Amino acid sequence: MMSSKSALKQPFSAQAMERLERGRQAAPQVFERLREAILSLALPPGTTLSRATLATQFGVSSTPIRDALMRLEEEGLVEVFPQHATVVSPIDLTLARQAHFLRRSLELEIVRGLALAPDPRLVARLNGILAQQQSLMEAQDLEAFEATDQAFHRHLYEAAQMQDLWILVRSRSGHIDRLRRLYLPTPGKIQGIVQHHKLIVQAIADGRPDEAQQHLRDHLSGTLAHVDEISARFPGYVRG
């Protein structure tokens, strides 16, 4: 059974103490690290973010922190209460459903196009990712598994020469990603993801666009079907 402990990553403080890379602007790095901590639930909904504390942890001035928090606010991942606090936002179901609709609409067309013109090189790359996922599934490494899952889908966009649309999807996926992260430890969930990926790859390799679309549709429908269960297990995390 899923528990809050199994779903949550290590506390953010250990990550934040790692200094930023030299030669890169600070604000994008702060944004990337805070965003990843929010999506991984190292910073769960309701966490108060202190600009002064973050500036100390990252070793930067207040300006990069302010700029990073503004970008997070634009994605709906934090709520800013002027002169009071900045808080990690609850998971917004309306935004989660919108992100799901966007991603499903795009990827249905992408896998169809890829199956109409199968590329053995793409199939080999996807099978390589599947092998990694199988190992990570057996090791129960949820964080690394999640990264390979993103890599699997990114390769589909890249193969279809739709890289910019992948960036768009990622910028809109913060709420559905967190919902999915809460559900990921559920028994059988990871196994289902791997099986769906295998079926999608096989349909692409065999040139069967309708089957590729159906397997993708099944693959992307899992988490939202369990919203009530997730909300009950994590009270206060989900809104709407």
Tell me the pLDDT tens digit for each residue of 86-130. Answer: 999 999 999 999 999 999 999 999 999 999 999 999 999 999 999
Give CA 229 to chain center in angstroms.
20
Query: Domain ends where: 89, 115, 144?
Result: 89
pTM for this prediction: 0.88
The answer to whether residues 145 and 216 belong to one domain is yes
Task: Please give the residue range of the domain that contains residue 69.
Answer: 4-89
Q: Residue 18's pLDDT band (boundaries 50, 70, 90)?
A: low
Per-residue pLDDT tens digits for 191-234: 999 999 999 999 999 999 999 999 999 999 889 989 999 999 99
Give percent of the chain above pLDDT 90.
Answer: 83
The answer to whether residues 177 and 127 belong to one domain is yes
The answer to whether residues 113 and 70 belong to one domain is no
The answer to whether residues 154 and 207 belong to one domain is yes
Predicted pLDDT of residue 7: 46
Strands (E), 40-119: 48-49, 78-81, 85-88, 91-92
The answer to whether residues 70 and 101 belong to one domain is no
The answer to whether residues 15 and 98 belong to one domain is no
The answer to whether residues 49 and 133 belong to one domain is no
Tokens of 115: 């199956």
Q: Residue 5's pLDDT band (boundaries 50, 70, 90)?
A: very low
CATH of residue 81: 1.10.10.10
Tokens of 63: 């300006």
Query: Is 21's pLDDT higher than 80?
Result: no
The answer to whether residues 104 and 54 belong to one domain is no
Element (H, E) at 194: helix 189-205
Which of these, 177, 133, 125, 189, lies nearest to 156 by C-alpha position? Answer: 125
d(CA 39, CA 19): 20
Tokens of 19: 């200094």
Query: Domain ends where: 89, 119, 134?
Result: 89
Residue 57 identity (one-letter amino acid): Q
The answer to whether residues 123 and 190 belong to one domain is yes
d(CA 177, CA 170): 9
Which of these, 127, 128, 105, lies nearest to 198 by C-alpha position? Answer: 127
Query: Domain ends where: 89, 123, 148?
Result: 89
Q: What is the residue-wise DSSP string for 145-162?
A: HHHHHHHHHHHHHHHTT-
Count the domains in the chain.
Answer: 2
3-state SS class at 222: coil
Per-residue pLDDT tens digits for 54-64: 999 999 999 99
